[in-house]
Structure formats: C-alpha cells, structure tokens
C-alpha cells in the first residue's frame, strides 16, 4: 500500500511517499496512524496530534474510522489551505 | 444543454480577461458572468511576505475540484464554469486562483462562484506556505473558512 | 486609507480586463477581486431580441450610484470599487454593466458586488427597452429583483 | 419648476422635459400627479396608474407624499430596470 504525505506532515515524516505493509490488525485509518507513529520519532512527531490530520483513500477524503482494506493509496495531510 | 467545466491545475499564471472571454465570446445567451480572482497578498497580519508556495496533491486536486464543479453545475443553471488553481511559488500581486461562472441569471452566477471558493478554501487538497524574513511557515486553516463552506451543505 | 469608487455612465463599451487590471495592478495588498459583468442576452422568454436600448436620468444616475458606492465602501473593507453602466443601444452579447470590487477578503468582495448589483437592478434610474420582431417594449420590473435588493436594508 | 419624464411616462406625455407652474394648493408629489393628469389626455394616460409611477425631487427618490415646495426639478418614471 502506497502512503503519501503532504505539507508539514511530509516535512516531519521526511519522505513524500513510501510503500508500507502494515500487519493485518491495522484495519482503519486511525489504526494506520497509530502503527506509523510507532515506526520512529519522525512519524511520532508528524502524527502527534492525530485529530489535526486529514486522510484520503484513493484520492477521496475519508474519516479516521474508514477501513483501509483494498486501498491502493492513502494520503495524510494537515487541514487544507487552498483558494 | 450539457455544460462541462474547464478545470486547470497549473504552475503558470493565467489571464483573467482571456478566461472571461472564453466563457461568453461568440454567444448571446449569457446574461451574467461572475469572476473571483484570488491574488497573493504582500503581507499577512502586518508582516511582509516574500512569496507563497502552494503544494498540492496531483490527481486528487483535479478529481475533487471536478466533483465540486459538477455539483455546482447541477445546483445552479450555469452556462459555463472555469476553475483555475495555481501551484508552486507565487509572488505578491500574482494570481492564485480563478473561478468564473456564466449564467442567464446573476444570483446563480454569484452563488456558484461563492460555493466553489468556499470549497477551494477548505477542502481542495492545496497547502500554502509563506516565506517571510522570519523564514517559512505553513498557513493555518481558519475556522471561519470552514463555517463559510458549511453554508452549502444540504440538510 | 481612503478609497474612492470609479463610476462611469457611458454609451461606449468597456473592457472588463482593463478594469480588473486597474483595480489590482501594481499593488500587493489586494487578496480578492470579484467582478460582475451583465451582458445583453439575445432572447427573453424564448423570443429573439434584436437589441436593448437603455434610457437613463443623467445626473441622478451618477449621484445615486455614487451614494450606493459610498455605502458599499462604508459597509465592507474594500480597496477598490468600479461601477460602469452603459446607456443607449446595446446589441446581444455586448456588455451592459460592470461591478468590480477589490478587498483583502473574499466575502467582502462578493457581498459588495451583490449589494451593488441588487441596487442597480431596482433603484438606479435606468430603463430598458427591448427591440424584437414584434416591435419595441419596455422591460417590466421584476418582484424578485426588489426582494433581492431588500436583503441589504438595515433593520 | 422643471418636470422631467422618463421611459414610457415620457413616451405617453410626449415630451421629455417642461417647465410648469402649478397652483399653490398643489403641495405634494401626489398633488402634482393629479394636477398634471388634469392637463390633457396624454397626461391622464401617463398617470393612469399613479401607484406604478416613481418620482424624484432634485435627483433623489421621494415618496408620493413628499412636499414639492422649493424643488427645482421633479421627475416621473416607471419602476427602474437597470443593471
């Protein structure tokens, strides 16, 4: 599963994109945030306030309880500031 | 009549006049064109800004804006709709975003343009970083933009 | 900063692009420009129209629009405001009216432009006459334009 | 006192502008409409539905009960259709 990071989430994690293989008990977006946070200080820092983080599965906004099974691409980013 | 929105996510600047002309030139059924141009300001909260850099999520930006453009086309009687959003480094005074809506009726054109701008400010996958003398910092999302966007949610 | 509106009542056509440029070129404090262009439609209620002729009350038109421009400047934080209204014979596809508002904030620019358009539709001393195959007839005022204008009345 | 007419009021009256000297008991805009209507068929036709007619004194909108004393210019016209 490909994971993308944008804006300051990207800066904190230190990469824009990577491929991960989380264990089977990582079922939701929230689970994935928890699992990523356990992978090192950079991740823990990026996800230190999970409520601020927005997520998209296959380029559509999702809630933290969205199930990740079958996702090709999951993205994490801060609240958007376009326009 | 089926109307398709013109959506462009691009690094290059754009010409508002040309986009308005493209919506209404050569046709006589358009009664109203409303445009919104978002421009990079040279200061924020009193502090000078050297530039903005806009990061975006390629693919998702086009898809998301396209979905909202389709929603606008279904909610208001529009005859043309153009949405352009730039990314990359943008200097003060330069264009950031354009929404232009053409309709037989002014209220429809105004509402569609406002709806799309409220959406772009809060939910389109773009992130602004400011460059100032103090360094660079990510622009924070503002609650009143979320409130503005929530106006359009159907009950 | 004191802002003066640009108001022109003229027979000649105008260039929307030039008017937008005049509002924002060479300055970096404008964050949003909203424009409304009203365009002569080629048909009304399904019937083809050869042209509109706009009659106006010289002197009063300038004074009245000026008063409403001043009200807009006092109600919203605008950095520039341009209002152009044509009179005389106008063919389908040609511009009739332009309102352009510049502000640091999008909501102010949208609201000021809508306020002025609602005013121009109902209370500015202009009268439209339509030319069609059946002859010429004066356009009747519409109740929903009055209702739109009434939104802005302070309690 | 100068009186101006616009749009179909002008067409019905047959002139765009004239100078009139109404008697002293013509005090309000409404009185003036009544007095003008008595001047002939063209005026009676123009003002046949007084409620539809709008008026301005010295280039500012006024109500039918506005007093006309001191006015330099009074204008009559149908509801406006600009914009």
Count of beta carbons in the 10 Å neighbourhood of residue A56: 23
Count of beta carbons in the 10 Å neighbourhood of residue B89: 15
Full 3-state SS string of C33-82: EEEEEEECCCEECCEECCEEEEEECCCHHHHHHHHHHHHHHHHCCCCEEE
CB pairs under 8 A between B and C: 104
Closest C-alpha among B153, B126, B130 to residue B64: B126
- Averaged confidence pLDDT in chain D: 97
Q: Identify any residues that bridge with C128 across adjacent strands, giving them in sequence order.
A: C54
- Averaged confidence pLDDT in chain B: 93
Question: Which of B52-66, C42-56, D29-43 shows the lowest mean pLDDT across its residues?
Answer: C42-56
pLDDT in tens, A4-50: 999 999 999 999 999 999 999 999 999 999 999 999 999 999 999 99
Chain A hits for B117, CB-CB cut-off 8 Å, are 83
pLDDT confidence of residue B152: 86
* ipTM computed for the complex: 0.90
pLDDT in tens, C53-92: 999 999 999 999 999 999 999 999 999 999 999 999 999 9
Which of C48, C106, C117, C121 would best serve as a mutation to test chain B binding (most B beta carbons within 10 A)? Answer: C106
- Averaged confidence pLDDT in chain C: 93
pLDDT confidence of residue B17: 83
CB contact under 8 A, A82 and B138: no
pLDDT confidence of residue B1: 55
**How close, in Å, is residue A83 to chain B by CA atoms?**
5
Which residue in the set B93, B104, B117 is minimally distant from C28, CB to CB?
B93
Q: Is B20 on the interface with A (CB under 8 A)?
A: no
Per-residue pLDDT at D22 exceeds 90: yes
Full 3-state SS string of D20-78: CCCCCCCCEHHHHHHHHHCCCHHHHHHCCCHHHCEEEECCEEECCCCECCCCCEEEEEC
CB contact under 8 A, C34 and B35: yes
Which residue in the set C17, C24, C113 is minimally distant from B17, CB to CB?
C17
The span from the CA of D71 to the CA of D26, in Å, is 13
The span from the CA of D43 to the CA of D53, in Å, is 12
CB contact under 8 A, A77 and B125: yes
Which of A2, A3, A12, A81 would best serve as a mutation to test chain B binding (most B beta carbons within 10 A)? Answer: A81
Closest C-alpha among A20, A12, A13 to residue A73: A20
Going by pLDDT thresholds of 50, 70 and 90, the confidence category of residue C142 is confident
Closest C-alpha among B67, B15, B105 to residue C145: B105
Q: Is B38 on the interface with A (CB under 8 A)?
A: yes
The span from the CA of B48 to the CA of B132, in Å, is 6
Contact yes or no for A81/B126 (Cβ under 8 A): yes
CA C143 to centroid of chain Cα atoms: 18
Kindly report the pTM of this predicted structure.
0.91
Per-residue pLDDT at B155 exceeds 70: no
CA C5 to centroid of chain Cα atoms: 13
CB contact under 8 A, C125 and D80: yes
Contact yes or no for B152/B92 (Cβ under 8 A): no
pLDDT confidence of residue C1: 55
Which residue in the set B15, B32, B117 is minimally distant from C39, CB to CB?
B32
The span from the CA of C70 to the CA of C58, in Å, is 19
What is the Cβ-side half-sphere exposure of residue C97, based on CA atoms within 13 angstroms? 27
Q: Is B128 on the interface with A (CB under 8 A)?
A: yes
As a whole number, mean pLDDT of residues C109-125 equals 96
Which tokens is B43 given? 């200061």
**How close, in Å, is residue D1 to chain C by CA atoms?**
17
Which tokens is B18 given? 């040309």
CB contact under 8 A, B41 and C30: yes
The span from the CA of B24 to the CA of B80, in Å, is 8
């Amino acid at each position: 599963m490909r994971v993308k990071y944008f804006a300051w989430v990207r800066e904190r994690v230190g990469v824009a994109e990577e491929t991960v293989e989380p264990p089977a008990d990582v079922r939701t977006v929230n689970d994935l945030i928890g699992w990523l946070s356990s992978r090192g200080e950079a991740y823990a820092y990026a996800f230190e306030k999970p409520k601020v983080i927005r997520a998209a599965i296959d380029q559509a906004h999702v809630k933290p309880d969205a199930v990740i099974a079958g996702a090709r691409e999951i993205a994490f980013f801060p609240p958007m500031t376009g326009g | 009549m089926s109307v398709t929105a013109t959506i462009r996510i691009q690094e290059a600047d754009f010409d508002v006049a040309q986009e308005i002309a493209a919506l209404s030139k050569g046709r006589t059924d358009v009664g109203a064109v409303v445009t919104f141009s978002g421009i990079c300001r040279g200061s924020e909260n009193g502090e000078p800004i050297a530039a903005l850099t806009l990061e975006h999520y390629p693919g998702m930006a086009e898809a998301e804006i396209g979905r909202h453009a389709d929603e606008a086309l279904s909610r208001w009687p529009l005859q043309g709709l153009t949405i352009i959003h730039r990314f990359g480094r943008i200097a003060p005074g330069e264009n950031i975003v354009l929404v232009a809506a053409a309709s037989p009726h002014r209220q429809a054109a105004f509402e569609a343009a406002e709806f799309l701008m409220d959406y772009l400010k809060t939910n389109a996958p773009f992130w602004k970083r400011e460059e100032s003398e103090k360094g660079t910092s990510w622009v924070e999302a503002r609650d009143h933009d979320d409130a503005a966007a929530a106006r359009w949610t159907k009950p």
